[in-house]
Amino acid sequence: MKEITIIGERLNSSRKAVARALEQRDHSFIQGEAQRQQENGAHYLDVNAGAFPEQEVELLSWLCEKVREVSLAPLCLDTTSPRAAEAALSRFPEKALLNGLTGEKPRLEAFVPLARSYGCGV
pTM for this entry: 0.92
pLDDT greater at residue 78 or residue 95: 78
Q: Who contacts 122 (Cβ-Cβ below 8 Å, separation ≥6)?
A: 97, 98, 99, 101, 111, 112, 115
Split at pLDDT 50, 70, 90, the class of 93 is confident
2: pLDDT strictly greater than 80: no
Q: Mind listing the pLDDT tens digit for each residue in 8-59? A: 999 999 999 999 999 999 999 999 999 999 999 999 999 999 999 999 999 9
